């Protein structure tokens, strides 16, 4: 990103960008044997239209992308002005429905009436069931099941946004190392982290995990009122959105001098994370990244304490496909962006996790979007 872009933000997506995404969606849907794609408010609708309703209500809003023919978006009549003004709605046919009318009959007219449709994971059950009643010959599959890789391949502009979010998270980590940990509650350090993410340009903070001492052995520890003590290992996992795309990074620090065992466990996780990143290249299966990282931890005798997948995709949501986990045979492809985050969790004692976001470049090489050091940092 050049200096001007860094100061003003990336160039906004255009109506043509969104139209191209919808065309690709129709193409992959056709290849998957679907009759069409149905996108409801949430990340899928945002990705394909740039439209995010102010309030997601029980009133149905749905983008219908047939695999042949032009896409149409149906919206409540009172929300039509906002939908029309969305940048990605330019050139998109809009149909509205009024309170008191049957929204499923109106939506059903936009569908072929038969066939299998992929629908947003975030769709309300009442909308899916309403369409099933209206169109009994149709069937539905979740978008993640039907087209898991729809948003997985990022273009250069998306990678630019992810890189900017990662850089902001890195700056937050560098700053948090300067605050005092000992004698303060996890909630206080988490609040510092959230403030730093916002200071460095995040519009939204999604999570700030501060797992101190035994709490670090819970990978998804919810911050609590535990007072951090001298001698604690502390897992810091934090992220949110900048320019509409996510950050997610983890580093593990130590309050005061660590023991030899703590240093050893941290070093094992460092080596596992490096092995996972080194494995990244086009054509391997996603599970191979997990296998590479997991092998290091298993060979060191801690395999039973690595209790989650090695990584997940990231984009306008965190997490999203692809997943770096045993059994995931999707091939790694240029443009994919995902985390590599192995960990060791010793119940009742401490945990260690290290996480970077990695992307696959067109030339086949991997690139870490996070640049902060992996070695254990000592805090006061």
Q: Please write the tens of the pLDDT for every residue from 78-91.
A: 999 999 999 999 98
Q: Which of 51-55, 63-67, 323-327, 336-340 has the lowest mean pLDDT?
A: 51-55
- Mean pLDDT score, 39-64: 91
pLDDT at 299 over 60: yes
For the four alpha carbons of 166, 168, 174 and 176, in that order, the dihedral sign comes to: negative
Report DSSP letters for 163-203, one per residue.
HHHHHHHHHHHHHHTTS--TTSBHHHHHHHHHHHHHHTT-S
Residue 303: both structure tokens together: 């395999």
**Secondary structure of 229-273 as H, E, C letters:** CCCCEEEEEEEEEECCEECCEEEEEEECCCCHHHHHHHHHHHHHH
pLDDT at 242 over 60: yes
**CA distances from residue 145 to 148, 150, 346 in whole angstroms, order as listed:** 6, 11, 34
Query: Which residues have CB under 8 Å from 3's CB, separation 6+?
Result: none
- The DSSP secondary-structure symbol of 228 reads P
pLDDT at residue 1 in the model: 47
- 3-class DSSP assignment, residue 303: helix
Which percentage of the chain shows pLDDT scores above 70? 98
Residue-level pLDDT at 365: 82
User: Which pLDDT value is given to residue 7?
Assistant: 57
What pLDDT was estimated at residue 85? Answer: 94
Q: Name the token pair of 302.
A: 């801690």
What residues does 252 pair with on adjacent strands?
A: 235
pLDDT per residue over 258-292, tens digit each?
Answer: 999 999 999 999 999 999 999 999 999 999 999 99
Q: Band of the pLDDT at 55, cuts 50, 70, 90?
A: low
Residues in the chain: 380
Q: What are phi and psi of 321, to 5 degrees?
A: -60, 150
Residue 297: predicted pLDDT:
98
Please list the residues that pair with 323 across neighbouring strands: 312
Determine which helix (DSSP H) or strand (DSSP E) holds 21, and give its type and residue range. helix 15-31
Between 3 and 158, where is the model more confident?
158
Residue recorded with tokens 């872009």: 5
* Residue 363: band (very low, low, confident or very high) from pLDDT cuts 50, 70, 90: confident
Which tokens go with 166? 């990662």
According to the model, what pLDDT value does residue 315 have? 98
Q: Sketch out the chain's domains with CATH numbers.
A: 15-146 (3.40.350.10), 156-379 (3.90.230.10)
Where is pLDDT greater, at 208 or 53?
Answer: 208
Mean pLDDT of the chain: 95
H and E: helices and strands count for the chain: 11, 18
pLDDT in tens, 108-131: 999 988 899 999 998 999 999 999
For residue 56, what pLDDT is reported?
65
Mean pLDDT calculated for residue range 360-377:
93
pLDDT at 5 over 50: no
Tokens encoding 289:
């990244």
The predicted pLDDT at position 112 comes to 85
Question: Strand order in 356-360's β-sheet?
Answer: 320-324, 311-313, 337-340, 356-360, 366-368
- Return the higher-pLDDT residue of 2 and 141: 141
pLDDT band at 2 (very low <50, low <70, confident <90, very high): very low
Cα 11 from chain centre: 21
Q: What is the mean pLDDT of residues 348-356?
A: 98
Between helix 286-299 and helix 260-278 the angle, nearest 10°, is 150
Residue 366 has pLDDT above 90, yes or no: no
Q: In this predicted structure, what is the pLDDT of residue 203? A: 97
Query: pLDDT: is 56 or 287 the higher one?
Result: 287
- Alpha carbons within 13 angstroms on the beta-carbon side of residue 26 total 15
Confidence band for 14, pLDDT divided at 50, 70 and 90: very high
- Retrieve residue 156's tokens: 């250069």
Residue 6: per-residue pLDDT: 53
């Amino acid at each position: 990103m050049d200096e001007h872009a860094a100061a003003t933000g990336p160039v906004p997506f255009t109506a043509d960008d969104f139209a191209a995404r919808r065309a690709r969606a129709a193409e992959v849907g056709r290849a998957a044997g679907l009759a069409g794609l149905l996108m409801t408010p949430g990340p899928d609708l945002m990705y394909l239209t740039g439209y995010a309703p102010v309030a997601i209500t029980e009133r149905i809003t749905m983008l219908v992308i047939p695999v042949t023919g032009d896409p149409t978006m149906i919206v409540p009549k009172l929300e039509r002005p906002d939908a029309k003004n969305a940048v990605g709605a330019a050139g998109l046919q809009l149909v509205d429905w009024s309170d008191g009318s049957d929204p499923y009959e109106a939506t059903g007219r936009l569908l072929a009436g038969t066939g299998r449709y992929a629908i947003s994971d975030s769709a309300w059950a009442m909308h899916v069931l309403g369409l099933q009643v209206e169109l009994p010959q149709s069937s539905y599959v979740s978008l993640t099941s039907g087209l898991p890789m729809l948003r997985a391949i990022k273009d250069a502009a998306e990678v630019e946004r992810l890189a900017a979010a990662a850089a902001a998270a890195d700056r937050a980590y560098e700053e948090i190392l300067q605050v005092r940990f000992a004698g303060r509650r996890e909630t206080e350090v988490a609040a510092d982290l959230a403030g730093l993410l916002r200071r460095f340009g995040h519009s939204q903070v999604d999570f700030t995990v501060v797992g101190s001492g035994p709490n670090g052995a819970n990978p998804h520890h919810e911050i609590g009122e535990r007072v951090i003590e001298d001698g604690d290992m502390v897992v810091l996992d934090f992220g949110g959105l900048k320019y509409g795309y996510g950050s997610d990074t983890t580093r593990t620090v130590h309050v005061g001098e660590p023991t030899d065992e703590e240093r050893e466990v941290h070093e094992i996780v460092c080596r596992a994370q490096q092995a996972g990143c080194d494995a990244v290249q086009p054509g391997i299966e996603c599970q191979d990244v997990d296998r590479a990282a997991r092998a290091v931890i298993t060979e060191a005798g801690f395999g039973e304490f690595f209790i989650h997948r090695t990584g997940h995709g990231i984009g306008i949501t965190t997490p999203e496909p692809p997943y770096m986990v045993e059994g995931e045979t999707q091939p790694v492809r240029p443009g994919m962006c995902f985390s590599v985050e192995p960990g060791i969790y010793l119940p009742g004692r401490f945990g260690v996790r290290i996480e970077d976001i990695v992307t696959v470049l067109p030339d086949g090489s991997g690139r870490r979007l996070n640049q902060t050091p992996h070695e254990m940092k000592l805090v006061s």
